[in-house]
Chains A and B, each alone.
Chain A
Amino acid sequence: RKEVEQDPGPFNVPEGATVAFNCTYSNSASQSFFWYRQDCRKEPKLLMSVYSSGNEDGRFTAQLNRASQYISLLIRDSKLSDSATYLCVVVHYNQGGKLIFGQGTELSVKP
């Protein structure tokens, strides 16, 4: 079983839709959580950190459920420019703070 697993994609949604991505992690010692965004054939870039209390950044909302070892990303009012692959990332400091990436979920927003 992979340490970080994401919803299989791709997600194809119309502009303006709300879309949610899910991610589960297997190591209960995981201590930090992030969502990265990767455009086609480009490098990943940090989208947002995920905090225990949940956090919002504009149209993006991230949530963490430690008991269920589950992370989510909600995108409201999808834009064409949101089309990308979204990578779930966990870190546990007892492994030197390395980032463990999920395989990514592809989102395609259509006009």
Chain B
Amino acid sequence: DADVTQTPRNRITKTGKRIMLECSQTKGHDRMYWYRQDPGLGLRLIYYSFDVKDINKGEISDGYSVSRQAQAKFSLSLESAIPNQTALYFCATSDTSGRAVNEQFFGPGTRLTVL
């Protein structure tokens, strides 16, 4: 079984709809992240959470919100989807293990299309 899972894997929706993307991890990591990837722009950080009570905005948080329901779960919501939110979304996890930053492990991605 995958250590970091994302649901759904693909989603097509319409402008104005509310969408939730979910991420679960079995790695026991404390840190979780949401990124979006667009062609030519690389991965950009939307939100990140260092533990259940610590949530921070990333580079491009406008139009998004998150919820860290438990250490293992981190969901991303688009309250009112718009076409320029069409992208590939990745969840990632990492832990500190005595270092300031460790390798990030990514989920398989969610391909979201907003019509």
Interface residues of A (CB under 8 A from B): 4, 31-32, 34, 41-46, 87, 91, 93, 96-99, 101-104
Contact = CB atoms under 8 A, between A and B. Distances in A.
B43 A101 contact: yes
A10 to B, nearest CB: 12
* Size bin of chain B's contact surface: 20 to 34
Contacts of B103: 34, 46
23 contacts: A4-B42, A31-B100, A32-B100, A32-B101, A34-B103, A41-B109, A43-B90, A43-B108, A44-B43, A87-B42, A87-B43, A91-B101, A93-B101, A96-B50, A98-B45, A98-B58, A99-B33, A99-B101, A99-B104, A101-B35, A101-B43, A101-B44, A103-B40
A87 B40 CA distance: 12
B100 A93 contact: yes
A44 B100 contact: no
Interface of B: 33, 35, 40-45, 48, 50, 56, 58, 88, 90, 100-101, 103-104, 106-109
Nearest to B101: A97
Contacts, number: 46
Given A32-B101, A87-B42, A96 B48 contact: yes
A43 B48 contact: no
Given A96-B56, A103-B42, 5 more contacts: A32-B100, A41-B88, A46-B103, A91-B101, A101-B42
Contacts of A34: 103
B46 to A, nearest CB: 11
A93 B107 CA distance: 24
Given A97-B100, A98-B45, A104-B42, A43 B56 contact: no
Contacts of B50: 96
A45 B103 CA distance: 9
Contacts of A101: 35, 42-44
